[in-house]
Amino acid sequence: MGISRRNFCKTVAGSAASVAVLAMMPGNLMAKWSDKAFTANDLAAAIAAKYGSLPIEDSTAIEIKAPEIAENGAFVPVTVSSTIPGVTSISIFTPANFSPLVASFDVLPRMKPDVSLRIRMAKTANLVVIAQAGGKLYRVTREVKVTIGGCGG
């Protein structure tokens, strides 16, 4: 079969469209950066901005690994894991900071609900971790004592 001009144009247009769709996908699949949740300056407002008004219950199925005493609040190592089935999102908050939401992770289908990072804490305060599963939020709270605050200027 020869390539007619019409078919050639169709093919080119088709692949260009697929490329455009692929290039757009990450943006469409991923929620935009939750600016309202990250700029909220109290804990309840930050949780509400991130998760809406879903019911929250305390859970023992979320584990926070963090030092009891952090000597340097600029680098507090935190590991969060959960055994709650069907978790789709995990967020770390601390009322120590001017903006309590520190980071939020989408738990995608291939990903384990187990993440580590280093965070800033301005002073001794709780770490509050919220995990979403279905239409419910699960919360665990843990205090970290901070010797030298990490947000000084």
Task: Tell whether residue 30 is a contact of other proteins (CB under 8 A).
Answer: yes
Segment interacting with other proteins (CB under 8 A) among 54-62, 116-124, 129-137, 141-149: 116-124
Check if the beta carbon of residue 89 is closer than 8 Å to that of residue 132. yes
- 100-105: long-range pairs with CB below 8 Å, 24+: 100/40, 100/41, 100/42, 100/43, 100/46, 100/128, 101/34, 101/37, 101/38, 101/40, 101/46, 101/49, 101/50, 104/34, 104/37, 104/50
CA distances from 52 to 55, 69, 120, 136 (A): 9, 32, 25, 11
Task: Tell whether residue 116 is a contact of other proteins (CB under 8 A).
Answer: yes
DSSP-assigned beta bridge partners for residue 87: 133
Task: Tell whether residue 102 is a contact of other proteins (CB under 8 A).
Answer: yes
Closer to other proteins at the Cβ: 1 or 31? 31
- Interface positions, 66-85, toward other proteins (CB under 8 A): 74-76
Closer to other proteins at the Cβ: 1 or 108? 108
Shortest distance (Å) from residue 28 CB to other proteins: 12
Closer to other proteins at the Cβ: 107 or 140? 107
| Footprint on this chain of other proteins (rule: CB under 8 A) | 26, 29-31, 33-34, 38, 74-76, 94, 97-106, 108-112, 114-120, 150-153
